[in-house]
Structure 1
Amino acid sequence: MYDIPTMNLQAQVSEAEWQTRVELAAAYRLLVMHQWDDLIHTHISARIPGTEDLLINAFGLAFEEVTASNLVKIDIDGNIIQADCPFDINPAGFTIHSAVHIARPEAQCAMHLHHPDAIAVASCEQGLLPYSQYSAFALASMSYHQYEGLAVNHDEIKRLQEDLGKANFMLLRNHGALTMGNTIGDAFMHMYDLLRACEVQVKMQASNDSKILVDQSIIDGIKAQANIVHTGQTGGEKAWPAMMRRVKRQYPDFDQ
């Protein structure tokens, strides 16, 4: 009941799959370190390079228990394709993640969280407002999706895909946040910006002071630089190795 099966898949998978497993496990541990986790709920998924197969967390494990080897490999239809896998996956998590991976084959990673400030901002009619540099980054590629209850209805997939479009940031009304990234590091950096933006907005809206907004022309300029902001040398590629080292110091076993 309380024991987690011990596994080590490094010798059984390709080098590309193992690297993806290590980085995805690090992302789960980072959520714990930032206090972004929600018991055993929410998900990060990643496509194994060169395939349509995905990795996602085992349903029932806390995020500080996720390792490279106990991530579950599934196909795009949600079938577990990992031999002798002792774990299940969360159907609600698969609905969201299959939808976005099908719609965005160029994006390796999708990250979905239930952060309270993100839920608060997503549940406001105006959504995210341009109160900060963080919000300017997110608003340059923002989308919204209406709440439809637990995401177990297959019909919701099409609506999720249509609402997401080419955006890298999504606020799910009454529900949480979603970010996409061409790499796991990019998806993490996008979520960092989005949650910071929501945190700032919640703090500012608690104040009676007049608000200064980021000018729309600045947001439009960031849109024009969308391939530069928090990707490549300015973001995921540069910051992600430091995040991996931080995880290794805190959780030496995550890459097993």
Structure 2
Amino acid sequence: MQDSVRQLVSPEEWEQRVALAAAYRLVALHRWDDLVFTHLSARVPGPEHHFLINPYGMTFDEVTASSLVKVDLQGRKMMPSAYEINPAGFTIHSAIHAAREDAQCVFHVHSANGVAVSAQEAGVLPISQQSIFVLASLGYHGYEGVALRDDEKPRLVADLGGKQFLMLRNHGLLTVAGNVANAFQALYTFERTCEIQVKAQAGGGKLVGIHPEIVATAIQQSREVTRGAGGALAWPALLRRLDRIDASYKN
């Protein structure tokens, strides 16, 4: 199957497929997946508005470059696949891809820590170094049930606005970025922020907050600490880790 799909797509699409499949494997490795019920999507390079998303029924640790399903903004398959896609998942992803040209990648998970914080009225608290990067570009979207209705799309898009992070109340975490590496780095930071918050609250002591002026400079600090590389700084090392464990995501 690898050879047949690779022969049918451009080199740029194949590269995107491999990167997105790697992201699925990394989410599984960190145990942020939820059986088959969440999604990472990426736009296919080129003039068409086509997107890659996971086959509905595969666990994240099974996803490969060839198995990703290519769809248009209406969720119609653009290449043959034995699998369908999750309609609820693509409601969220298609809305953001359509509204944000810069949102080449949209990552969404139901991690336990993320859902736990999404259910807290105050949301993300400025109590960790990780949290300042999230708070600098964070929106919230209220829960409206399983995302099956098109009429939710405008509200979802409005709540995200131009931000990179979106907390879906009572639901989970979502990040957007221009490439897979940056989307994964953002998701890692978001999830770690929530994990630290839940553990800090469980300690029972009074929490020490970070001053808003420090939060306001977080984006600049992020550029400095990564030397402008963003998610690309750690991405090659993450791929090496995957290759040591199981390189079949490249198939």
Q: Tell me, yes or no, if the aligned pair for 2:32 and 2:112 is still in contact at 8 Å.
A: no
Matched AA of 1:14: S
Distance apart, 1:71 and its partner CA: 0.1
> Following the alignment from structure 2 to structure 1, what is the Cα–Cα distance between the partners of residues 146 and 179?
27
Instruction: Give the structure 2 partner of residue 112 of structure 1.
Output: 108
Residues 1:177 and 2:173 are matched in the alignment: yes
In 2: Cα distance, 1:146 partner to 1:232 partner: 35
RMSD of the alignment, in Å? 1.6
Tell me which of 242, 246, 256 is aligned to 2:237: 242
Distance 1:205 1:137 in 2: 20
The 5-angstrom pairing of residues 74-223 of structure 1 reads: 74-82=71-79, 84-223=80-219
- Give the TM-score normalised by structure 1: 0.93
Q: Please give the per-residue CA displacement for 1:138-192, whole angstroms capped at 9, x wherever unaligned.
A: 0000000001111010101111100000110111000000011111010100011
> Per the alignment, do residues 189 and 72 of structure 1 end up closer, same or farther by CA in structure 2, a change over 3 Å counting?
same
Determine if contact 2:133/2:222 at 8 Å carries over to the other structure: no
Query: Structure 2 CA distance, aligned partners of 1:13 and 1:119?
Result: 37
Structure 1, gaps ≥5 residues long: 1-5
Please, which runs of 5 or more residues in structure 2 have no aligned partner?
Answer: none
Distance in 1 (alpha carbons) for counterparts of 2:102 and 2:229: 20
The normalised TM-score by structure 2 is 0.95
What is the aligned partner in structure 1 of residue 52 from structure 2? 55
Could you report, residue by residue, the CA deviation over 1:52-96 in whole angstroms, capped at 9, with x for unpaired residues? 2100000000111100000000011211111x3211000001000
Whole-angstrom distance in 2 between the partners of 1:227 and 1:136: 10
1:229 deviation in Å?
6.7
Which consecutive aligned stretches of 4+ in structure 1 deviate over 3 angstroms post-superposition?
229-234
- Paired with 1:57 and 1:114, the residues of 2 have a C-alpha distance of 15
Give the drift of 1:208: 2.5
SS state of the match for residue 250, structure 2?
Answer: coil
Aligned mates of 1:253, 1:233 — CA distance in 2: 31
Distance 1:77 1:227, change over 3 A: farther
Q: Do structure 1's residue 21 and structure 2's residue 11 form an aligned pair?
A: no
Per-residue deviation, residues 194-240 of structure 1 (Å, max 9, x unmatched): 111101110111122221111100111114x2882787744311111
Partners of 2:141 and 2:183 in 1: how far apart?
18
Q: 1:229 to 1:192 in 2, by over 3 A?
A: farther
Deviation at 1:101, TM superposition (A): 0.7
Kindly provide the amino acid, as one letter, of the partner of residue 87 in structure 2. Answer: P
Aligned to 1:3: none
Aligned 8 A contact 2:114 2:173 in 1 = yes
AA aligned opposite 2:188: Y
Question: What is the rounded CA distance, in whole Å, between the counterparts of 1:27 and 1:118 in structure 2?
Answer: 18
